[in-house]
């Protein structure tokens, strides 16, 4: 209902924002519209009884309806969140800041873009990675690493373009040492076969197991490719 509310009645000139910080997972995809064979998901509080929110549903609700003249930014701080909006293009960037846009449009031909509007998403990690909570960044309390770095990039004046934000976030996470109180990110909610979701108790007991440092790499996806170093970032 909240996702529907966000886009309902939007008009040209509107700027929408969706921020999620919490648990994410993935499940096997059986209709062949995922490059990696998995649907990415968000895990609401009642996911054990009501199920996870799958990227196909997120795309259908807040991406495809966006009309011309409306823009939506998504900031998703969760495990396995790289393509959780199912947007058609992913910015694959190396450590030197060089990038190419990967085409993630389904082979089935199903349209995953908008109705003329613009949607861009920053996410905490690649689809096969986990996103951590850590006290290593704030030095005060445990925070979502990606959210902290996103805010820091803006506060430090490194948010001129989408490319500068992405590089700033990635370099901050790379420079954050290991063994620094990592804890909140869930390695995976997948069962051994990749199909089932573990119990909530098991999730809480095993959560935050990325103990080798902040290896997550924030990702940028969009409905259309663009030059990340010339396009100004603007909410």
For residue 204, pLDDT over 90 is answered with: no
Residue 79 known to be catalytic: yes
* Residue 175: per-residue pLDDT: 86
Q: Per-residue pLDDT tens for 78-131?
A: 999 999 999 999 999 999 999 999 999 998 889 999 999 999 999 999 999 998
The number of angstroms, rounded, from the C-alpha of 104 to the middle of its chain's C-alpha atoms is 15
Computed over every residue of the chain, the mean pLDDT equals 84
Whether residue 52 contacts residue 41, with contact meaning beta carbons closer than 8 Å, is answered with yes
Whether residue 217 contacts residue 129, with contact meaning beta carbons closer than 8 Å, is answered with yes
The neighbour count for residue 6, using CB atoms within 10 Å, is 15
For the segment 155-161, the average pLDDT, to the nearest whole number, is 96
Active-site choice (10, 23, 43, 104):
23
Q: Per-residue pLDDT tens for 164-199?
A: 999 999 999 988 754 333 333 433 333 333 334 434
Active-site choice (10, 43, 79, 223):
79
Position 231 confidence tier, pLDDT thresholds 50, 70, 90: very high
* Residue 209: per-residue pLDDT: 36
Residue 80 known to be catalytic: no
Share of the chain above pLDDT 70, in %: 81
Domains of the chain: 2-222 (3.40.50.12660)
For the segment 26-50, the average pLDDT, to the nearest whole number, is 87
The number of angstroms, rounded, from the C-alpha of 56 to the middle of its chain's C-alpha atoms is 14
């Amino acid at each position: 209902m909240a996702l529907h509310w966000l886009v309902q009645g939007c008009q040209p000139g509107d700027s929408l924002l969706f921020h999620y910080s919490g648990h994410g997972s993935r499940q096997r995809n059986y209709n062949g519209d995922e490059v990696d064979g998995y649907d990415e998901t968000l895990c609401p509080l009642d996911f054990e009884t009501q199920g996870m929110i799958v990227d196909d549903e997120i795309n259908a609700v807040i991406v495809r309806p966006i009309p011309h003249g409306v823009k939506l930014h998504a900031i998703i701080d969760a495990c396995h969140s790289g393509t959780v909006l199912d947007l058609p293009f992913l910015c694959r960037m190396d450590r030197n800041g060089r990038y190419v846009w990967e085409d993630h449009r389904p082979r089935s031909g199903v349209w995953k873009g908008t109705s003329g509007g613009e949607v861009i998403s920053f996410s905490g990690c690649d689809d096969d990675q986990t996103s951590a909570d850590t006290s290593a960044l704030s030095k005060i309390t445990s925070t979502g690493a990606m959210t902290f770095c996103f805010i820091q990039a803006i506060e430090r004046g490194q948010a001129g373009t989408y490319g500068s934000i992405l590089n700033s976030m990635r370099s901050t996470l790379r420079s954050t040492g290991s063994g620094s109180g990592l804890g909140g990110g869930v390695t995976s909610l997948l069962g051994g076969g990749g199909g089932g979701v573990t119990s909530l108790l098991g999730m809480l007991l095993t959560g935050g197991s990325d103990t080798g440092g902040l290896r997550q790499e924030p990702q940028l996806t969009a409905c259309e490719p663009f030059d990340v170093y010339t396009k100004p970032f603007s909410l």
